[in-house]
Amino acid sequence: MNTSFPIPMLHSTIRIMAPFLLAAIGGLFTELAGMLNIALEGLMLIGAFFSVVLSAATGSLFLGIALGIGASVVAAYVFGFISLNLRANIFITGLATNLFAEGITVVLAFQMFGNKGVIRFENLPRLPVLSIPALQRVPVIGDIFVGHNVLVYVSWLMVVIAAIIIYKTAFGLRVRGTGSNPAAVEAIGLSPRRYRMYAILISGFTCGLAGAILSLQMGAFVPGITSGRGWIALVAIYLGAKTPHGILIACIVFGLAESFSNYAQGAIDIPADFILAFPYIITVIAMIAYSIVRHYRLKGSEG
């Protein structure tokens, strides 16, 4: 067995899982606030488009990413406003957000670049890579965890921050209360609707960043670049039992699955479409396995 094979695979797992992690962490807030957030996919797509286009236009990665996140947050606000203030069904408005994102990114790309396919940005600034020479010399750990772009580390940081907000702050308690017992939140004079909106805006923020990672890593925008990652992130929330550390583990699994399929593509002769289908299949199986376990556990506790 060639020992050099798993290390690059694990290295790319860390890179691949970053967008999943960010989208799922944002989705955790909306989930805890009692909403099924299907819009993760569309919010990521908007973040991906605007951050790469605006990074190229302004020549500044920081500005581009900030504006890309801004666009995603605005979209999240519209999604939240229609769902909460106009009292629309949040599952339908989530679908609407995804369709809208698909439409607007292609329309704008066509109008700006005359092209509905892959748009490459030649003069795009590269994402800075974090290298810690001291750590890099540590075998295995150094090979796997060092040498990624900064946004990958930001995504891990976000998990920690999210965990602190959710479990250690009054705000986090109120968001959780909004989901588990909105009447209690109302009884202490707060508005559950407002906390739902905050949760949606947080998911807009993290999804915007997740999208930025996707397009900036590639240095290009591709229509539908998110290719179902928002949905997989949604499943990661469930599989992670709605906890930040659970989500981290679920995202490692999905990252591994995608990284493995990338390597399998080079090593074994499997058609690309099958490889692309692999994460979905893994996700469905994981979801069914999870519900089977839950089903029998519930049964056990009843009997």
Partner 1 sequence: MARRQLTNLLSSTTGLVLTIGIAFAIVILLILLLSKEPGTAIYYFFVGPFTKAYYFGNMLNQSIGLMFTGLGIAVAFKSSTFNLGGEGQAYSGALVATAICLALPNLPGIVGGAAAILGAILIGAFLAGLSGFFNMRWGTDQLISSFLISAAVILVVNFLVTGPLDDPKNSMLTTASIAEQYRFLKIFLPSKLDVSIFFAVAAAIGTYFFMQRTHWGYEMRMCGINRNFSRYAGINVAKYLVVPMAISGGFHGLAGAVSVMGTHYRCLKGVTTGLGWNGIAVALIAKNNPIAVIPAALFFAYLDAGAKAAMLHADVTFELAKIAQAVIFFLVTAQALYGFFKSRKKVAA
What are the residues binding partner 1 (CB under 8 A)? 36, 78, 82, 85-89, 91-93, 95-97, 99-100, 102-104, 106-108, 110-111, 116, 228, 231, 234-235, 238, 271, 273-274, 276-277, 280-281, 283-284, 287-288, 291-292, 294-295
Minimum distance between the CB of residue 152 and partner 1, rounded to whole angstroms?
Answer: 25
Minimum distance between the CB of residue 140 and partner 1, rounded to whole angstroms?
Answer: 34
Q: Are 203 and 209 in contact (CB under 8 A)?
A: no
State which residue, 118 or 160, has the beta carbon closest to partner 1.
118
State which residue, 124 or 283, has the beta carbon closest to partner 1.
283
Residues ≥6 apart with Cβ < 8 Å to 264: 270, 275
Angstrom distance (rounded) from CA 38 to CA 44: 11
State which residue, 169 or 291, has the beta carbon closest to partner 1.
291
The b/e string for 38-68 (b: 16+ C-beta within 10 A; e otherwise) is bbbbbbbbbbbbbbbbbbbeeeebeebbbbb
Angstrom distance (rounded) from CA 221 to CA 216: 8
State which residue, 151 or 222, has the beta carbon closest to partner 1.
222
Minimum distance between the CB of residue 125 and partner 1, rounded to whole angstroms?
Answer: 27
Angstrom distance (rounded) from CA 264 to CA 182: 48
The 3-state DSSP composition of the chain as helix, strand, coil percent (nearest 5) reads 75, 0, 20
State which residue, 34 or 152, has the beta carbon closest to partner 1.
34
Number of neighbouring beta carbons within 10 Å of residue 178: 25
Minimum distance between the CB of residue 18 and partner 1, rounded to whole angstroms?
Answer: 21
Number of neighbouring beta carbons within 10 Å of residue 113: 14
Angstrom distance (rounded) from CA 25 to CA 265: 29
Backbone angles phi, psi at 172, to 5 degrees: -60, -40
Minimum distance between the CB of residue 37 and partner 1, rounded to whole angstroms?
Answer: 12
Minimum distance between the CB of residue 202 and partner 1, rounded to whole angstroms?
Answer: 21
Please give the sequence-ordered ranges of beta strands (E in DSSP) within the chain, or none if there are none.
119-120, 220-221
Number of neighbouring beta carbons within 10 Å of residue 171: 12
Minimum distance between the CB of residue 97 and partner 1, rounded to whole angstroms?
Answer: 8
State which residue, 78 or 165, has the beta carbon closest to partner 1.
78
State which residue, 187 or 287, has the beta carbon closest to partner 1.
287
Minimum distance between the CB of residue 89 and partner 1, rounded to whole angstroms?
Answer: 4
Amino acid identity of 183? Answer: A
132 φψ region: left (φ > 0), alpha (ψ -120 to 50), beta (else): beta
State which residue, 146 or 286, has the beta carbon closest to partner 1.
286
State which residue, 91 or 153, has the beta carbon closest to partner 1.
91
Minimum distance between the CB of residue 157 and partner 1, rounded to whole angstroms?
Answer: 28
